[in-house]
Amino acid sequence: MGREVFNINTKSKQLKRVATKNENSNLLENYKLRENVTTDESWDFRKSNTKEFTHCYHPYPAMMIPQVARRILNDYGKKSKTLFDPFCGTGTSLVEANLVGINAIGTDINPLARLIASTKTSKIDIQVLELFLQDFINYFFSISFQIEKVKSVIIPKVKNIDFWFSKNVQQKLGVLLDYIEGINDPSIRNFFKVAFSETVRETSFVKQGEFKLVRNKNFKDSREPDVFGVMIIKLSRNKQGLVEFEKTLKNDSHASVYGFNTVSNIPKEIIKESSIDIVVTSPPYGDSKTTVAYGQYSRLSNEWLGYEEANQVDNILMGGVKRKHKHTFKSDILNDVILTIQDEDKERGRDVISFFEDYEKSINNVSKTLRKGGIACYVVGNRTVKGSSIPTDEITSQLFEENNFTHIETIIRNIPNKRMPSKNSPSNVVGVTASTMKNEYIVVCQKN
């Protein structure tokens, strides 16, 4: 049934092939020919507060805004008991699930993302937290007058540390980390680590607003950052978000965050087959080396926090390992697009093949976790490679249909609030940029 639904309009498929060289605005006109695909501005959430509750913790590249996950759960998850997010990032969908009384399971390969996601969904006794916060403030007020103690702190191994941090900042961050490691309560220690990670980035020479590791050219002219002050501001903000989160939580819902890779397998001791009611996720748009550099963004924090292989995150994410063999996909559209890209550049074609080969394997594994009648909601972007637009939304629905799902609908929304760069360098040639995607697609499929 799925394939019949997908191929209901042959003309649409032909137009899509012709449109691969056009901009997304032209592609939207062709979408009107497809069934169950609508553009809905009410999903834009232009004026919404995307930093409610624990969503205020720590920025992260290409985050799904909470209002999208919230509306998906309201429309499709009212009777759900368990949500799964196979690319949970910093846990947007997990927080939203818990807020409406749904248990949640998330997984992400990036250790920094896992730290943030698990902390955002952890319940902490506010009175106990306030005692730690007051102790922290008192400690750093006193240590400000003990210069020798600051200088004697042990600094962790961070690659090219002098390139990214002044000596003074290194010492103060080392003092912060030393204090944090002495906290005996794991949940509160992680709460401090999340604020510390954000402080690391903000007090470095990194150009703020960039996902890739780029040093600010004017770092010598900038004022020496107030490391302790930045940390206190982050902790105070996050505490307020936690208070709001715990006040709004329904029943005793909980979230569990893991580090398994859904491309390889989904451990049955963690998630049994046919046990999940709804999947809500926003997978990467492409491999991290040529799209959103999750690994580069989080590398400094990962290294300061002692996570091993912090500089290898981009290599182990989807598409990080480039395949040289040929692969035929179960999506006709994807096969057509790859041929078009390979005509322009065989190496870039391999990048696309490598990413979607992992993507296909992940969908195959995720499909098994959903019960009959379960819902899969993938919030995806249609990136452009070598001038060819890749219709990831259509590819996603077709891959799910190959796993005995029916495509219910695809909603096209503008992404005014999503933290994405306005330009990127898809060719990796210095100075050659292209506009990034301005729309994302909420693909909803149901298991037969």
Same domain, 265 and 353: yes
Predicted TM-score (pTM) of this structure = 0.88
Please indicate, yes or no, if residue 121 is contained in any of the structural domains: no
End-of-domain residue from the set 245, 262, 281: 245
| Mean pLDDT to the nearest integer, 78-92 | 97
Specify the pLDDT at position 288. Answer: 67
Same domain, 180 and 227: yes
Same domain, 211 and 99: no
Please indicate, yes or no, if residue 441 is contained in any of the structural domains: yes
Same domain, 49 and 106: yes
pLDDT of 126 above 50? yes
Q: 407: which strand partners? A: 445
Same domain, 282 and 406: yes
The mean pLDDT value of the chain amounts to 86
Same domain, 106 and 41: yes
Same domain, 240 and 263: no
| Mean pLDDT to the nearest integer, 320-339 | 83
Identify the CATH number of the domain in which residue 385 sits.
Answer: 3.40.50.150
Domain that holds residue 396: 2-110+254-292+306-447
Same domain, 105 and 82: yes
Same domain, 60 and 166: no
Please indicate, yes or no, if residue 161 is contained in any of the structural domains: yes
Specify the pLDDT at position 23. Answer: 43
Please indicate, yes or no, if residue 118 is contained in any of the structural domains: no
Please indicate, yes or no, if residue 356 is contained in any of the structural domains: yes
Specify the pLDDT at position 140. Answer: 87
Which residues, 6+ apart, have CB-to-CB distance to 117 below 8 Å? 88, 89, 90, 91, 94, 106, 108, 255, 257
User: What's the pLDDT tens digit per position in 251-284?
Assistant: 889 999 999 999 999 999 999 999 999 999 999 9
Which residues, 6+ apart, have CB-to-CB distance to 350 below 8 Å? 322, 323, 324
| Domain count for the chain | 2
Same domain, 239 and 260: no
Specify the pLDDT at position 145. Answer: 59
Same domain, 234 and 268: no
pLDDT of 9 above 60? no
Assigned token pair, 353: 């093949």
Please indicate, yes or no, if residue 299 is contained in any of the structural domains: no
- pLDDT band for 332, please (50, 70, 90 cuts): confident
pLDDT of 56 above 80? yes
User: What's the pLDDT tens digit per position in 391-446?
Assistant: 999 999 999 999 999 999 999 999 875 554 444 444 444 444 444 578 999 999 99
Which residues, 6+ apart, have CB-to-CB distance to 7 below 8 Å? 13
User: What's the pLDDT tens digit per position in 204-243?
Assistant: 999 888 888 899 887 766 778 999 999 999 999 999 999 9
Same domain, 263 and 351: yes
Specify the pLDDT at position 6. Answer: 30
Please indicate, yes or no, if residue 300 is contained in any of the structural domains: no
